[in-house]
Structure formats: C-alpha cells, structure tokens
Amino acid sequence: MTARVWMLGSGGRTPFVGHFRGARVLGGVRLWWAGRIASSASVEDGWAAAEEARDAMAGLLGAGDAETVLATAAAALSGLGARWLARQDLSVLLVAADARGCRATASGLSSVHGCIAGTWRPLATSGPLVSEPGLPRAHAVSLEEADRWLAVPSGATVPTGDLAAACGVHA
C-alpha cells in the first residue's frame, strides 16, 4: 500500500531530517501517516528519532474502526523515547479510512491540503488538525477523501512548484 500522506520538508541543506512516512492495513482500516521529529537536530539524531517513529508505527497491532486505529497510532507515538518527546517538535498527520469514510488526527501542522482529481486544495487551515508541535490528540475528525494529503508543518507554507520534490518524494 502506498503512503498517501506527504510531509513538506524544511528549508536549508537538510530538509528531511527526522522525516518518516508509511502505510498499514489493520483489519478493515487503511492507515497512512507522515511526520517529522527532531527536525532541527543533527542528521544522525534526526535519523535515530525517525527510525524510532517508524518502528513504533510498524509495530501497530489490532484492528477496529478508523477512530480506534488512529487512537492506537497516537498511543504508539506517545511511547517514543523521552529524549525525542522532550523536544516538543513532533509534527505528524495520521489518516485512517474505513467503510464509513476518512478520519484524521494530527499535531504540529499549519494546514492540511488534499489532491482531489489532480488539483491540490486546502482541507484544513484551522481547527483540530492545526496545532502546535507535540503528540497528536487521540480525538479524530472527519477528513475529505483525497488521492494524496499534504501535511504542512507549523511555520511553513505551501510552496509553488513541484510538491512531490518539496516532500522528498521521487517517482
């Protein structure tokens, strides 16, 4: 399953320090995520933090509806090492879809955009998906179905040009 959530990179020479993304199927729920942690750390520390986040998401077990899976994923991230959580710089978008639709939870985002029928448009510029960095709230909200979602970290804006490249995605 393809990771359908992208996280915008930072400016500078190391735009993807601490980035992680992925996808899982848990029972009848499809789960996608993208995030970054320790993005202002050294490349080595950012890699270690991202690997820990990837391991937490790879270890998800169980099933249920989209809200249950999102709560499980948020709880998995809360188990990251104190060294990383103390930084208070986690930005993440978790999206889960089941037969009833799409739900999401997030932290550290200034906006969420969706690519629908080949056109990018804002889906959330305020509200529960827009918040300060830190652990995501387990409370899930409805999110419009999209071919792809773009998570824009706090303090960043959507660039013009190639969004895939700005997110570190290569064909």
Give the span between the Cα atoms of 95 and 31, in whole angstroms. 6
Kindly report, residue by residue over 140-171, the tens digit of the pLDDT. 999 999 999 999 999 888 888 888 889 988 76
Average pLDDT estimate for 76-89: 93
Give the pLDDT mean for 90-109.
95
Q: pTM, whole model, 2 decimals? A: 0.94
Band the pLDDT of 46: cuts 50, 70, 90: very high
Res. 94 pLDDT band, cuts 50 70 90 = very high
Q: Taking the CB of residue 131, how many other CB atoms lie within 10 A of it?
A: 17
For residue 15, count CB atoms less than 10 angstroms from its CB and return exposed for 0-12, middle for 13-18, buried for 19 or more: middle
Q: Is the pLDDT of residue 9 over 80?
A: yes
Q: How far apart are CA 4 and CA 62, in angstroms?
A: 21
